[in-house]
Amino acid sequence: MAQRMSGEDFNIQVGFRHRVRFTRGAFSAGNSMVAELLETRGRSKVLVFVENGLRGFFPQLEGEIQDYFSDLPGLRLTGVEWLAGGEEAKRDDGVYQAAMAAIERHHIDRHSYVVVIGGGAFLDVIGFTAATGHRGVRLVRFPTTTLSQDDSGVGVKNGINAFGKKNFIGAFAVPYAVVNDFQFLHTQPEHTRRAGLIEAVKVALVRDGNFFDWIEANVTGLRDLDESVLEEAVERSALHHARHIARGGDPFELGSSRPLDYGHWAAHKLEQLTDFELSHGEAVSVGVALDTLYAAKVGLLDQSEAERVLKVIEGLELPVWHEALELRDSKGKRRVFNGLEEFREHLGGELTVLLLKEAGVGVDVHEIEESVWEACAEELKARSFSTV
Ligand SMILES: NC(=O)c1ccc[n+]([C@@H]2O[C@H](COP(=O)([O-])OP(=O)(O)OC[C@H]3O[C@@H](n4cnc5c(N)ncnc54)[C@H](O)[C@@H]3O)[C@@H](O)[C@H]2O)c1
Ligand SMILES: [Zn+2]
């Protein structure tokens, strides 16, 4: 029989608008930001999910949301659902299923809005529910932690953990809008509020040397969580992340280069090795310290530049080392080092790790020398003990 081969390639281009906003008290009377963001033609439904952890801190929130929408004739609030948040909510599909059932119960359709208010983990779960319910409904994210406001909340990733692996099940979906409401940050415990700022340090290091200079000059204000300095850092960081996603050429991460994951290969592994006792922010802090010192040791980065970075991390009272780095497998290899292979596997393709050439400028490398890295871990251990 004669061979037959035919077909055609089609380019399908879909444009997304990524609306990123900053405010204080989004649901207080007189704040028109949300009203202006949402389309009010046709009385669209709105279903709000809030993570349980916020109830005690914001007892008025549900009433404020109800009053806000009752004054907007073009939108119909169908309910406010409180569900568990935090990393626990991503461990299995329990919260995902509960949220999906609510989407079905409230008859949310593709013209409706799902609003989610919570930390990064809660945004990940509800974002995944919104991305998959009806094959995707409009999502408005309200991140409530520094980490989710200055980084993950403005991202396009959603997911839950499976097979002991973070974000194994998930979807890329551009949210309809992200509203960073600074009022939520006031109740976050101080240490985790500070830890979330590491993502601002990270994005400054890989994208904007001037922003890093500013962070360095304001490190005391940031450590003290001075309101105006904190809000400026969060806003600048969030806009850098959004800009990278919108203009960096790879919003859905199909390539191997992942500059926003600077310091993250070790961080993800440390989170796993500590069974998530170490928060994402603290783990990234250690990961950034390690990869920065490594770049200096292999001669890519000036030692004085590396020292500036370590001083900023320490100035924010964040860790440069953690005892889980000491864990070794049966062959004597540091277990954290397996994170490199897992990082490559997660991304697919060739191992690509970003290292710094200077503050604000990164370069992709494809190999990490274990012995040099070992020396960095030892040096940071000594440094960490000398400063306690
Ligand atoms: N999707 C992405 O691109 C992306 C990127 C980075 C991190 N993440 C994920 O984000 C998660 C970490 O997010 P996180 O740092 O926001 O922490 P989190 O969502 O785990 O929240 C930590 C704790 O803070 C509480 N909390 C949240 N907001 C609060 C507030 N305003 N006041 C008081 N308590 C509050 C929560 O109830 C929870 O107990 C991880 O699951 C991580 O994997 C996702
Ligand atoms: Zn991160």
Task: Please indicate, yes or no, if residue 4 is contained in any of the structural domains.
Answer: no
Tokens describing residue 248: 């960096």
217 with 169, same domain: the answer is: no
Tell me the whole-structure pTM to 2 decimals: 0.95
Amino acid at 27: F
| pLDDT tens profile 220-236 | 999 999 999 999 999 99
Tokens describing residue 68: 């806000």
199 with 157, same domain: the answer is: no
Domain CATH number, residue 227:
1.20.1090.10
Index of the ligand 1 atom closest to the CA of residue 146: 16
Dist CA 319 CA 51 (whole Å): 28
29 with 153, same domain: the answer is: yes
182 with 194, same domain: the answer is: no
Residue 387 has pLDDT above 70, yes or no: no
Name the β-bridge partners of 115: 48, 140
- Say if residues 292 and 361 touch (Cβ distance below 8 Å): no
Q: Is 85 in the pocket of ligand 1 (CB under 6 A)?
A: yes
For the ranges 162-166, 261-265, 316-320, the lowest mean pLDDT is seen at: 162-166
pLDDT at position 159:
97
Domain CATH number, residue 156:
3.40.50.1970
Contacts (Cβ under 8 Å, ≥6 apart) of 279 = 192, 195, 271
Protein residue closest via CA to atom 10 of ligand 1: 120
In the reported structure, the alpha carbon of residue 192 is separated from the centroid of ligand 1 by a whole-number distance in angstroms of 9
pLDDT at position 253:
85
Task: Please indicate, yes or no, if residue 238 is contained in any of the structural domains.
Answer: yes
C-beta contacts of 330-337 below 8 A and 24+ residues apart: 333/370, 334/374, 334/377, 335/269, 335/273, 336/266, 336/269, 336/270, 336/273, 337/370, 337/373
Q: Is 144 in the pocket of ligand 1 (CB under 6 A)?
A: yes
180 with 200, same domain: the answer is: no
In the reported structure, the alpha carbon of residue 231 is separated from the centroid of ligand 1 by a whole-number distance in angstroms of 18
In the reported structure, the alpha carbon of residue 192 is separated from the centroid of ligand 2 by a whole-number distance in angstroms of 13
Given 167, 187, 207, which residue is the final one in a domain?
187
139 with 274, same domain: the answer is: no
370 with 238, same domain: the answer is: yes
Task: Please indicate, yes or no, if residue 295 is contained in any of the structural domains.
Answer: yes
Dist CA 25 CA 64 (whole Å): 10
Name the β-bridge partners of 50: 82, 117
Task: Please indicate, yes or no, if residue 320 is contained in any of the structural domains.
Answer: yes
Number of domains in the chain: 2
Given 187, 215, 237, which residue is the final one in a domain?
187
Protein residue closest via CA to atom 27 of ligand 1: 119
201 with 179, same domain: the answer is: no
Protein residue closest via CA to atom 37 of ligand 1: 53
161 with 210, same domain: the answer is: no
Task: Please indicate, yes or no, if residue 14 is contained in any of the structural domains.
Answer: no
Residue 147 has pLDDT above 70, yes or no: yes
Task: Please indicate, yes or no, if residue 7 is contained in any of the structural domains.
Answer: no
Protein residue closest via CA to atom 38 of ligand 1: 86
Residue 123 has pLDDT above 80, yes or no: yes
229 with 357, same domain: the answer is: yes
Strand stretches in 84-164, DSSP E: 113-118, 138-143, 157-162
Q: Compute the mean pLDDT over every residue in the chain, rounded to the nearest whole number.
A: 94
Task: Please indicate, yes or no, if residue 113 is contained in any of the structural domains.
Answer: yes
Mean pLDDT of 272-287: 95
Residue 388 has pLDDT above 60, yes or no: no
325 with 346, same domain: the answer is: yes
Across 169-194, b (16+ Cβ under 10 Å) vs e yields bbbebbbbbbbbbbebbeebeeebbb
Give the ligand with the smallest distance to the CA of 127. 1
Task: Please indicate, yes or no, if residue 199 is contained in any of the structural domains.
Answer: yes
| pLDDT tens profile 57-74 | 999 999 999 999 998 988
Mutate to test the pocket of ligand 1, among 126, 150, 151, 152 (most ligand atoms within 8 A of CB): 152
Q: Is 152 in the pocket of ligand 1 (CB under 6 A)?
A: yes
233 with 259, same domain: the answer is: yes
Amino acid at 227: E
Mean pLDDT of 357-379: 94
Given 153, 172, 187, which residue is the final one in a domain?
187
Q: Which domain holds residue 349?
A: 190-386
Mean pLDDT of 377-388: 88
